[in-house]
Structure 1
Amino acid sequence: MKGINDSKKAARLFLSVATLCLGATSLNAKEEKSSSYASVVVKEDFESTMKRMKAEKPGITKKHNTLLKERYDLSNRPSKKVNMSGGKPVQEGVRVKLPAGMTWEKLSSMSAEEIREKNLFPQGFMPLPHPHHSEGGMLFPKFHIDKVKKQDNRDLTRFDLDFDLKDHFLPEFPSPIYLTTRPDIGDVSQGKLVSVDNYFELFDGVLNPKQLEGLRLLVTPFPQQQFNATNDRRSEHPSFGVSCFDCHANGNSNAATHLVGDIRPQENRHRLDTPTLRGVYQQRLFGSQRALKTVEDFTEFEQRAAYFDGDHVIAAKKGVNALERGSQVHFMAEFQSILDFPPAPKLDVFDKLDPSKATKAELRGEAIFNGKGQCIECHGGPAFSDNMMHDMKVERFYKPTLKAGLLATAQGPIKSFPLRGIKDTPPYLHDGRLLTLEDTVEFFNLILNIKLSAEEKKDLVTYMQAL
């Protein structure tokens, strides 16, 4: 009997161990499953993470630069006639490369189905991946990093990644600041990058106390996903974080990039080209796809969620800045709402070209914009936006493709961005995939099947440069 009992005990022990093993296997399987939540517990110490990512950085950079060169002509070809409002020359010409043996005229004569089946959609028209899409996160141009380091003694360098697009394709830096309340002043920034170092001396006596406090908050750094004091940051040293104006430099944009926080899984997330804050007083939707209804909503959402990839759990860990809606959010929004577009001396009070000031090419371009080009369908109304969301269904032209960590597939509706001051805010489209205005004209000429002539395309670009 004793032997039988011992056998039963051994069998029970075996079953218990097996059950535990199976449970552990199941648990491991669950841990390995993709989740919308980032891990709160870091399993690799900071020094090891930094060493590993620094070692991986050259390979990641080389691979992404190869992708850019395959898609675009990246040469510096500044205009000799057209400058941004602060004086930087705009870049000229179509930069998206065509498939071998193809012309724009031939491509535009083909149907979307034919282009899709023959894989002829230009790669530069495809969604643009983040420099390291599976990692993502805020990434700043070097000129901004250098200026902030010198001016505010903050370091926005990431040890794992560098910004990818060349400086000549980006907005001028620092951008001028124009105010709806004081158009007589012109550029209020006086050519300086506005930060905690100088905001008070530049704006005291120009703004009311609420607006001044709102500006202070907009230039104050707060913790963010990659820049904070925790051990899963991507800055070498603990960081105060980033400010709103680190991306929206001087209320415009420095083309800093990120991944949108409101889409999962990671490969479906869009790259984000930072939009300008100029003219938000004319807008009724905020966020490329979120369709937030007020600038207050946008301001609060950015710091509570978008700063942290839309993950409120990680936000709590890293030190989220919980803004007070009735005062802080309101003050920040009040300042943003007086940021104006740059002067457009050829436009009348109804945003139409004054025939006595405009060139013949600009007037022809305006006619195309309002007619054959169909631009007015989405860019009518104040500031040349209908304040609506539109789905261009670009996926008609290509098969779903996973490349560089980004799944190019249907992307859904995107808001119509204002075109006032458009020459000041390259690159274009919500993810910055189009480097010049000529690229945008070719893009919409193809996807809308407009069939503009070469001269009509040129006139349309000339018109938009006058807005």
Structure 2
Amino acid sequence: MSHARHWGRIAIAAVSTGILTASLWKGPAVNAQATSPQTPVPNSYAPVDDKESFQAVHDRMVAAKAAVQQRQLDLLNERYDLSDRPSSTVTMDRTKPVQTGVRVKLPAGVTWDALASQTPEQIREKGSFPKGFLPLPHAHHEEGGMVFPHAELQELLDKEQRDLTRFDLDFDIPERFLAEFPAATYLTTRPDLGDVSKGQLITINNYYELFSGILNPKQLEGLRLLVTPFPQQQFNQTTDRRSDKPSRGVACLDCHTNGGTNGAFHEVGDIRPQEFRHRIETPALRGVNIQRLFGSQRALKTVEDFTEFEQRAAYFDGDHVIAAKKGVNVLERGSQVHFMAEFEELLDFPPAPKLMWDGKLDPAKATKEELHGQDVFYGKGRCAECHSGQYFTDNSMHDLHAERFYTQHMENGMMMARDGAIKTFPLRGIKDTPPYLHDGRLLTLEDTVEYFNLVLGTKLTAQEKKDLVSYLQTL
């Protein structure tokens, strides 16, 4: 349901360095009287009328694509070690190994221990905050929009003959750092069945075969709506789209694959101007029945609110004018929204055989390292202050004030500004849903431990970090 955002037509021109510039709205006017006739007036709305033909827009953006892709690849290589280092012992839902090791690169001559010994002010003044800890820009931040990984594109094309390939942009993070595809599907009502998807991608063509006799009629209808494509900002029937052919649109489970995640990303629709919008990496829908906040920052109070919000607004960057043009699907609250939410609330976390009923490790099953990691989690690491209870969430929001460590600046069209308050995501099944944080800036659990060790100032030892990762892999 969390899908990409797009704010109007972009005029892109390649300059001699190969870097692209973009021109689009800049947000609400601050001092309209001070603007000259030649100064563009800041605007919250995207243009509705078509001033270019589809072919002209298509050809221009296709020509610019290589430079756009290279700019993002350069940023990723500057920030991360993207090599393939799979675990030999830990897998995700089925057989895909998790990627191991700290992938965020440190500045030359800096060590993690030395960095952790400095104050935020010292780190900011020296410019030594690791770039991989900064907000992660969209693959083309000025343009934005929903972007799907290759595996999802290929499977939908094969199974539904529906093409969600963008002509202007490809997915950026290597597949090895994404969740296993397709995700396994577990139901709170039938834990005895294990993965009810049977390793298949759930689509409009097979949902009935897979779930009839397992779900009641309302739940089955809710699932049908969740796999039904509806018009969206980049994928619709108008000429202002980013697919070669007119598109039926996207389905909720195109991002939340099988109720999990495939790593698809977009930009939030509720921030202006464009450079301040956050990249959002798709979270899993597993465990929404125990959650009380929805949306990384919106703090919607029910999954019904979120379902309706996505269809009415988020699919179209919160722009109701554009939504009307592109064919917004207005869901009926008392039946359709309720039915969709009823299925979503059945989605369970994956099995965790080493955990007891209270969420604590069973001493008879856990290793010494895992038990020590649990002690760190509840003690020195301060993790449980937010990630509490048997599902490891306090159902609240927290602002870590990571901007203490760096100065605000632009990178690849995105302002490296403060994140603000972000909801506490549950940690159950965390090893199965990389990458991490709301924007996917942390590729591995080791990266995540280093990030919070620095930002929270916990000064964990190397062994404590290692054992904490071992513990997180049991959840």
After TM superposition, the score normalised by the length of structure 2 is 0.92
Residue of structure 1 equivalent to 2:113:
105
Please give the alpha-carbon distance, in whole angstroms, between the structure 2 residues aligned to 1:170 and 1:308: 26
Please give the alpha-carbon distance, in whole angstroms, between the structure 1 residues aligned to 2:410 and 2:233: 25
Q: Which amino acid aligns with 2:189?
A: T
Is 1:123 aligned to residue 120 of structure 2? no
Please give the alpha-carbon distance, in whole angstroms, between the structure 2 residues aligned to 1:450 and 1:29: 54
Is 1:228 aligned to residue 236 of structure 2? yes
Q: How does 1:43-122 map to 2 (within 5 A)?
A: 43-122=51-130
Please give the alpha-carbon distance, in whole angstroms, between the structure 1 residues aligned to 2:39 and 2:126: 41
Residue of structure 2 equivalent to 1:19:
none
Match of 1:132 among 130, 137, 140: 140
Deviations 1:229-253 (A, max 9, x none): 0011000100000000000000000
Residue of structure 1 equivalent to 2:398:
390
Match of 2:157 among 126, 149, 163: 149
Q: Which amino acid aligns with 2:231?
A: P
Deviations 1:304-348 (A, max 9, x none): 111111111101110000000000000000000000000000000
Q: Which amino acid aligns with 1:249?
A: T
Is 1:281 aligned to residue 265 of structure 2? no
Task: Flag the structure with higher helix content.
Answer: 1
Residue of structure 1 equivalent to 2:7:
none
Q: Which amino acid aligns with 1:349?
A: W
Relative to structure 1, the CA distance from residue 145 to residue 341 in structure 2 (aligned partners, 3 Å threshold; closer, same or farther) is same
Q: CA shift at 1:58, angstroms?
A: 0.2
The answer as to whether partners of 2:35 and 2:41 remain within 8 angstroms in 1 is no
Q: Secondary structure at the match of 2:98?
A: strand
Q: CA shift at 1:29, angstroms?
A: 3.9
Q: CA shift at 1:28, angstroms?
A: 9.1
Deviations 1:410-430 (A, max 9, x none): 221000000000001000000
Q: How does 1:150-165 map to 2 (within 5 A)?
A: 150-165=158-173
Is 1:458 aligned to residue 462 of structure 2? no
Q: How does 1:26-425 map to 2 (within 5 A)?
A: 29=37, 32-425=40-433
Q: Which amino acid aligns with 2:75?
A: L
Deviations 1:346-373 (A, max 9, x none): 0001111000000000000000000000
Please give the alpha-carbon distance, in whole angstroms, between the structure 2 residues aligned to 1:106 and 1:382: 35
Q: Secondary structure at the match of 2:403?
A: helix
Please give the alpha-carbon distance, in whole angstroms, between the structure 2 residues aligned to 1:157 and 1:176: 24
The answer as to whether partners of 1:88 and 1:172 remain within 8 angstroms in 2 is yes
Please give the alpha-carbon distance, in whole angstroms, between the structure 2 residues aligned to 1:243 and 1:29: 43
Residue of structure 2 equivalent to 1:20:
none
Relative to structure 1, the CA distance from residue 29 to residue 329 in structure 2 (aligned partners, 3 Å threshold; closer, same or farther) is farther
Q: Which amino acid aligns with 1:291?
A: A
Q: CA shift at 1:382, angstroms?
A: 3.8
Deviations 1:384-424 (A, max 9, x none): 00000000000000000111010011221000000000001
Q: CA shift at 1:36, angstroms?
A: 1.2
The answer as to whether partners of 2:219 and 2:342 remain within 8 angstroms in 1 is yes
The answer as to whether partners of 1:46 and 1:231 remain within 8 angstroms in 2 is yes
**Where does structure 2 lack aligned partners over 5 or more consecutive residues?**
1-33
Residue of structure 1 equivalent to 2:13:
none
The answer as to whether partners of 1:282 and 1:382 remain within 8 angstroms in 2 is no
Percent identical pairs in the alignment equals: 66
Q: Which amino acid aligns with 2:349?
A: F
Relative to structure 1, the CA distance from residue 381 to residue 29 in structure 2 (aligned partners, 3 Å threshold; closer, same or farther) is farther
What RMSD in Å do the two structures reach over aligned CA positions?
1.2
The answer as to whether partners of 1:362 and 1:460 remain within 8 angstroms in 2 is yes
Relative to structure 1, the CA distance from residue 27 to residue 402 in structure 2 (aligned partners, 3 Å threshold; closer, same or farther) is closer
Q: Which amino acid aligns with 1:147?
A: E
The answer as to whether partners of 2:359 and 2:389 remain within 8 angstroms in 1 is no
Larger Rg: 1
Please give the alpha-carbon distance, in whole angstroms, between the structure 2 residues aligned to 1:199 and 1:427: 27
